[in-house]
Chains A and B, each alone.
Chain A
Amino acid sequence: MKLYLYSIINSSNQIKEEIYGLEGSSVYNIPYCDIGAAVSEINQPIQEVTEGDVLEHEAVVEKLIADFTVLPVRFQTVINGKDNLLSMMQSYYKDFKDNLKRLHNNLEFGIKVIWPAEKIKKNIIKTLKNKEYIDSGDSPAKRFMNGKLEKYKIDKELETQADKLTKAMDIFLSKFAAEKKLEKLKTEDLLFDAVYLVEKSQESNFRVAFEHIKSARPDFKYLFSGPWPAYNFVVLSKQSSLLGGSNQANVFDTATKYQALVGAESI
């Protein structure tokens, strides 16, 4: 019997709500000590990733967070039988317990902010030209060198502006968050890409803080998502040693690479 694993949960009790997972099978809890593994039986390991299966997986995890603290497990984790599952639970028990305790009553929120990088660059160029920092030069060599210098100055100024903005946003949001992961300028347009771990009691304050940021810069584009299970905040000592951070391609990056391969328009 193969078991598809959705989440580790903070309970050894059975799941009261009827939840159906992949292949339409019932999701149930296999207890180990005081925690459990939410699984469903599956005939074959999944051969390919389809959007439908990914959404099914996520739907199960989302239903579980209504009643439990969950550690969401990565898509397509299939374990060979109950004995193997219990052996895995034994081996990861301390890690699971530590994370369940840390993440109890916390939810994850994602925030992405896109700024008009091209427009901001144009403004920077205009400012630099006004200050006569940019000299068009006369000889080809001088023009080449000036071009390089100009690009350096623009990039540096763009980064300085991005720094100021991300710090300001982060200080505001962090007031209501327990933990965070933040990346600045992941791409030139993606100014702010962050996930915050927020206590349930702070959710409304966090949302208000986000609304304030939005109203302060209505010229930017915002993507707010959540509440999510804490996908980004599970830290397993075994996992981190195996992965060394993240050696898996982020879907966003991979999608970009794929698009480059097929020669499609840049996203």
Chain B
Amino acid sequence: MNSVITKTKNVTVLEILDRVLDKGVVISGDMVISVADVDLIYLGLKVLLSSVETMKKLRGSSFVGPMQEAK
């Protein structure tokens, strides 16, 4: 949980959400109880609202100002 904060890279939550929820290995089969492959609108409402907020913040920043950028 704290690595995102303690790590030197400073990325938006949206970047993390995009990867963790939508990318990576998807295991299929009877042995799998669950995997996040249901409609994200229903399952991840809270997360999506957060991501919308993130986008709004980015959008609201001045155009010449830097966006979040890894060092």
Q: Please give the residue numbers on chain A whose beta carbons come within 8 Å of chain B beta carbons, in ascending order.
A: 2, 5, 8, 45-46, 48-52, 54-59, 62-63, 71-80, 84-85, 87-88, 91-92, 110, 112, 114, 116, 218-219, 221-228, 231-232, 234, 236, 238-239, 242-243, 246, 248-252, 254-255, 257-259, 261, 264-265, 267
Contact = CB atoms under 8 A, between A and B. Distances in A.
Which of A8, A57, A255 has its CB near the most chain B CB atoms (within 10 A)? A255
Interface string B28-56: 11111111110111011111111110011
B69 A222 contact: yes
Contacts of B31: 79-80, 84-85, 87-88
A2 B22 contact: no
| Count class of interface residues, chain B | 35 or more
A110 B15 contact: yes
Which of B22, B39, B48 has its CB near the most chain A CB atoms (within 10 A)? B22
B40 A259 contact: no
Contact of B26 (A59, A84, A239, A254): A239
A223 B44 contact: no
A251 B50 contact: no
Nearest to A54: B20
A49 B22 contact: no
A63 B40 contact: no
Interface of B: 1-4, 7, 9, 11-37, 39-41, 43-52, 55-56, 59, 63-64, 66-70
B48 A76 contact: no
Contacts of A71: 24-25
B19 A255 contact: no
A46 B31 CA distance: 16
A54 B67 CA distance: 22
B26 A74 contact: yes
A45 B56 CA distance: 32
A49 B27 contact: no
A62 B3 contact: yes
6 contacts: A74-B22, A76-B35, A79-B33, A223-B15, A231-B19, A252-B51
A217 to B, nearest CB: 12
B52 A77 contact: no
A114 to B, nearest CB: 8
A257 B41 contact: yes
Which of A63, A224, A232 has its CB near the most chain B CB atoms (within 10 A)? A224
Nearest to B61: A221
* 6 closest A-B pairs by CB: A84-B31, A59-B3, A231-B23, A49-B44, A76-B36, A231-B19
Given A231-B24, A238-B28, A248-B22, A59 B33 contact: no
A234 B35 contact: no
Given A258-B52, A259-B52, A267-B56, A251 B17 contact: yes
B24 A234 contact: yes
